[in-house]
Every structure is written in C-alpha cells, then in structure tokens.
Structure 1
C-alpha cells in the first residue's frame, strides 16, 4: 500500500466517503462509505491520525474530481483567485458517490445502525435515522431479494449487533409487505419503516446482552423489557418526533390482539405488522439460551394469530417475502442443499443456488435451480446451523440481482 495525503477540504461532510481514510501509517480511520457528520468530527479524525491519507489506488478518482472542478471553473469564466482556491467539494463526487451507494455495504450499514441506536443525541439522531432509512428503502426497492438475502444471513450469524440487524430486517420486511401487498400510502410506509427501526430504542444494549445470556431473565431485566416500548416513545418524543402514527406503532408493537387490520387505528395497523415481523425475525436469530428455528417454521408461527386463525398482517408478510425467503436454506428433491436467492412466482417456488451436492460435498460454484420444476422442488427447509458452508455475501449477492420472472402482485 502506497499512501498519499489528502486535504481536509476535499472531504465532503454528510456524504459517504468514496474511499477509506487512513493515518500516515496506514491505520484505518474511516471506512469507505462512512459518513462524517460535521467539520468538527472531520477535524478530530484528521488530528487523531496526524493528517488524512488515502491509498494511491484511490487517488485517481480524487485527482479526476479535482481536474474536473478546474475545467468547470475555467469554462464558466471564474476568476484566477477562485480557480486557485478550488477544492473538491460540491457536486464533484456526486456521480461517484451515487455509484458507491448502489452497492450496499451491509456490514457498514450494520455498524451505522448499531451506532444510531446507541448514540441518541437529538442533534444527530434524526438526520442519521433519515439517512439510514433512505439507504434501506433504496436498496429494498432496487434489489429486494438481495436486501433480504443479506439481512437474513446476518440475522442468522450475528449476535454482537443483534438489535441493529434485527431492526433492519423487520423494517425491510414490513416495507415490502406494505408496498407490494397492502398497498399502503408512501406516508404510511415511511412511518412504518422508521417505527420498525426505532421500536427497541429503549433497550438496545439490553437486547444485545440477552442474545449472549444463557441464564434466565433477572427481575430487573424483565421490568426493562416490559417498559421498553414506552421508554422508546419517550426517547423519540424528546428527540423531536411528532408523527403520532410512528409513535403509536412503537408503543404498541408488542400488543397481541387478533383481528383484521382495517378495524384498527392507523398506528395499531403498523404495530400489528411490526409485531408479526418482529416475532418472525426473533425466532431466526441464534441465542445463548436456545437454537434458532428454520425460517419456514418461523414464518408459519407468524401466519396464524392468537386464536389460530390466519392473521392478515402475517399473511401479507408471507406473500411479500415468501415461505422460503432469500438467504434461507432448503433441501431439494435431488437431495441437494441450496440457498434461496430470489423470490418466485408464488411463495413456495423461489430460485435457489445449490451449495451442497447430493453427496454432501460443497459445490465449487453455485448451481442455479428453479424450484417451480418438479425435479428441483423444495422438500424441506434447512436450519442455518445445519449448513456448514461459509456464505460469501460478495460472491452470492450478484445472483440475487439476476432477471426474475414477473411476480403476480
């Protein structure tokens, strides 16, 4: 690695970094796509690192942006003084940033969400939440299968940032159901996704702790869990949230009352959808005190309500994400084990990629199968813990963006 210095003025505030920032020794200060919120934060990073440096491999983009800026100033007749003072700011990196944003860095989004839920300073929280919500919505619209794939895989393997991963998965699942099945308004969808992201704001640290705790809940922990929904509402109100539907959804997201959605107040409609998705996602995740169940079994649990009747919100979720969701594992009639990469024409016939052949050996390259054909039909859901193949997100995510057959809704 060969490092070259960059000026503080060339770094854009409130925009994802187009390249990693390092100190003079090559120690990482900020990852690519990390968002620096203020000039003060940038100055602190630069001071900590004794200056800002980038790999020479990234300097070409930096240089192109600078040269482009100079040409633009010359064409528009700016003074020599303005040209001499030119910095790489404004719209110079917009196209590059837009391209970077199209490729979701799920590990980085995980870190961003974790930081958001733990650092609830009113001056930063709402801006960071808006930015995170925008990114998740963009990815779930441009590649819903890839978004589900990444979050399902992270939910099944990640325990250190469980609360962050869980809230993202619930938000995306609810968003897909609201948009593709229930046809809720954009305003409802916005309140819904933000409510899902912030539903456990009042117990983020405790929630992460409990995933690693094998012992029974203490009385103090039980009281904190029981009070967390109201505490989350109070924290959001203190940070300036005035959306009553959003707040009602957070307050009631653990309420278990069966019945159709239309008979409920707007906030309670959102709360019911969140409650069903919350139940599903929680059963997928590994815990010190129990093993996770298969996605198909978790989805079946949210499909029926407290009276063992079909639940409208649960049914909408299944229709949106499928019985076998992208990122989950299945066994085929061929006795191969595959990972789901795309939802299919109906909820039970997704497109899959074979990772383990019928002899039980990992495949060198994933083989695509259409489970709508009889020879490759799904015969069972496979719990994540039983699949010993290491999933490489960068390798498999491109498969989720391949053209798919039209969905019927």
Structure 2
C-alpha cells in the first residue's frame, strides 16, 4: 500500500471522510464516513499525520471530480502551492508523479511571480505564524519566489530562473518535516537534528538523482546551497560555488531569518537585509535582493510622518518610497477604511518600521488588494 499524506485543504470539518485515514504505518485511524467535528480535532490529527491509500484517494477523486469552476484567487493559489509541495515532496524518488508535480509547481510559482510579484512578497513576508509544522513547505515556496525575483533582477535567462525555482522547492527534500518540527519546538536544536541539517544538501541531491533528475545545474544548486565562497560552508566546505547556489543560499537564509519560530521572534526585514548585505560584503547577490525587496517590502508594517501606521502594499520607484495602506489614524487608532499613502510625499514619508505588529492580524490581503484578484 502506497500512502499519500493529507494536507489541510483536503479534509473538511463536519463532512464525512470519503476515504479511510491511516497513520504512516498503515494502521487505520478513522474509517470512511467518520466526521471530524471541529478545527482543534483536525489540527491535532494533522500534527499527528494523516495518510490515505493513494489508489483509494485517486478513485474517490475520479468519482467526485467537479465541473469547471471559476479561477482561484491569487491568494488561494499561493496557499495551494504550499499544499502541492507538502503532497509531492515526501514522495520524491518514489513515484514519477511527485517529480511531475514539483515541475508543475515551479511553473505555477513562475506564473504567480509574473501575475503580481507584490502580492507574492506580501504573502511571503506575512506568513501564518500559527502553522509552524508546515514551515518546511511554506519556506521552500517563498524561497522559490525570492530566488526567481533575484535571478530576474540579475538578468538571468528563463531556463536558469526556472532552475532556481526547482532547486528552492527541493533543496530541503530530505528534512522538510524536520524543519516543521524544529520551527514548532520550544527548545534548541538537538544534536541529532543538527546532524540531519548538516547532511541534508547531499541527501536532497541524492533524492533528486533517484527521482530521475538529470539537470546538473539543478542538482548542483541543491548540493551547494549551504556552501560559501570562503570555504566555510557545508557539507563539503568547497570554495568554488555556483552562482545559482549562492542566490539560493541568500534567498533561503533571508527567508529563514524573517520567518517565525516557536523559540524566537523573526528578524525585521531591515535587520535581515543588513545582515545579508554584511555577509555578502555588498556583492551583486545581496544588492539584487535589496533592489527586489526595497527597504520596506510588501507586507511590512511601517510608521508614517502623518502619525499613521500602515501596511506596505506595493514597491515604489525608490527603495524607501513604497505605496502604503494606512490602517490607523494619526493617533494610532485602528480604522475600518484603508487609505493609500504615497510615501514619496513628505507628509506621508516612512519614519521607520512599526514595532507593535498586533494590528497586522486584522489586515488580510483582500483588504488591500481586493477580493477578485484572479490570474490565468
């Protein structure tokens, strides 16, 4: 029996299960027809791990295939991209379907980056802090986006940009579940976890080869994405590192630094950019990243000269002058309307990042960009 891990979007509270649900050892957990009663029960089951016989899943899917439906919103497509990676990556090297799914997902992220990169960056910066256990998958998806935008800024050809996307999606294939566990744990990494981390570039590259990947640049980027030109990286401590691997390492590290953990708060965008620029000694890759993001990228929370606080919506002509949606009045009180502020105007200039980020949880992307954002 070959098992498929179920993700949140495949299970509905209050609706009878269309298949038998098992644990990863094939033991039956819930019989077909069982009803999950509430969100907390579903969350506990997802954390434990819910699996279904892939043949049973396909049979039910064939019977219940819906008629043509309207296109998904761009926000939903980003969420579904994470679901798709969580479904495919654990089976890399086991079935051809998994590699096909990852190839298709890279194309989807490239399309989303074309459709509206600002919304993509907003989703990356404003990650769901409650879903640590999915971190290994969300991190890879948003690293792919940043890598794509960096490579475009550097003027790379389309084939190399796609290699960056593929490498980002698979760089942590051997530890994606471990990453989620470590993001959720409230204690420092254990020795055995550190050992797995050190080994993961080589193990992930080996999974790609087992899956039938023959693209040497893709495999090399995964193998080298923690190596450094001064030889201080791992797993082999080499100093001859491909440009693709260096872009991937920088995007990977930047996204890791701004992502939440149970054990620590994320770094601010500005602090993460400062560290990246220092580590790269102001080289072309860190410069490209800063040009892509600006000083205050979409999703960041800022204070304005007017006294208002707002969420960055879109990057501006200059790194320091994005378009901002004010979500408070000049006294710092929350407002129901959203007023767009051009921060190139002195009256609305950004005076710095806002420290109290509690208001952000009440600002969904639909409020800033609208509800009918569709692509394709």
TM-score (norm 2): 0.77
Distance, in Å, in 1 between the alignment partners of 2:107 and 2:131 is 23
Compared CA separation, residues 39 and 280, structure 1 to 2 (3 A) = same
Compared CA separation, residues 386 and 102, structure 1 to 2 (3 A) = closer
SS in 1 for 2:229: coil
SS in 1 for 2:143: helix
SS in 1 for 2:313: strand
- Alpha-carbon distance, 1:382 to partner: 3.0
Give the conservation status (yes or no) of the 8 Å contact 1:322–1:346: yes
Paired residues for 1:75-90 under 5 Å: none
**5+ unaligned residues in a row in structure 1: which ranges?**
1-19, 31-37, 55-61, 63-92, 402-409
1:166 aligns with 2:139: yes
Q: Which residue of 2 aligns with 1:222?
A: 194
Q: Which residue of 2 aligns with 1:3?
A: none
- Alpha-carbon distance, 1:385 to partner: 4.4
Distance, in Å, in 1 between the alignment partners of 2:363 and 2:329 is 16
SS in 2 for 1:323: coil
How many residue pairs get matched?
A: 322
1:125 aligns with 2:98: yes
Alpha-carbon deviations, 1:208-249, whole Å to 9, x = none? 010011222222111100000100000111001111111111
1:396 aligns with 2:368: yes
1:44 aligns with 2:17: no
**5+ unaligned residues in a row in structure 2: which ranges?**
1-8, 20-53, 232-238
What CA RMSD, in Å, does the superposition of the two structures yield over aligned residues? Answer: 3.0
Give the conservation status (yes or no) of the 8 Å contact 1:258–1:311: no
2:121 pairs with one of 145, 148, 164: 148
1:296 aligns with 2:312: no
SS in 1 for 2:303: strand
Distance, in Å, in 2 between the alignment partners of 1:231 and 1:21 is 29
Give the conservation status (yes or no) of the 8 Å contact 1:322–1:348: yes
SS in 2 for 1:330: strand
Alpha-carbon deviations, 1:331-390, whole Å to 9, x = none? 111222111110110211111111122222211021101111111111112357454542
Alpha-carbon deviations, 1:263-322, whole Å to 9, x = none? x97x7101111111111111111112211121121122112226xx21221110110121
1:286 aligns with 2:240: no
SS in 2 for 1:105: helix
TM-score (norm 1): 0.71
Compared CA separation, residues 383 and 123, structure 1 to 2 (3 A) = farther
1:316 aligns with 2:288: yes
1:193 aligns with 2:165: yes
Distance, in Å, in 1 between the alignment partners of 2:363 and 2:133 is 18
- Alpha-carbon distance, 1:170 to partner: 1.0
Give the conservation status (yes or no) of the 8 Å contact 2:82–2:137: yes
Compared CA separation, residues 170 and 128, structure 1 to 2 (3 A) = same
Q: Which residue of 2 aligns with 1:251?
A: 223
Q: Which residue of 2 aligns with 1:74?
A: none
- Alpha-carbon distance, 1:134 to partner: 1.2
Give the conservation status (yes or no) of the 8 Å contact 2:73–2:372: no
Distance, in Å, in 2 between the alignment partners of 1:175 and 1:21 is 29
SS in 2 for 1:360: coil
SS in 2 for 1:160: helix
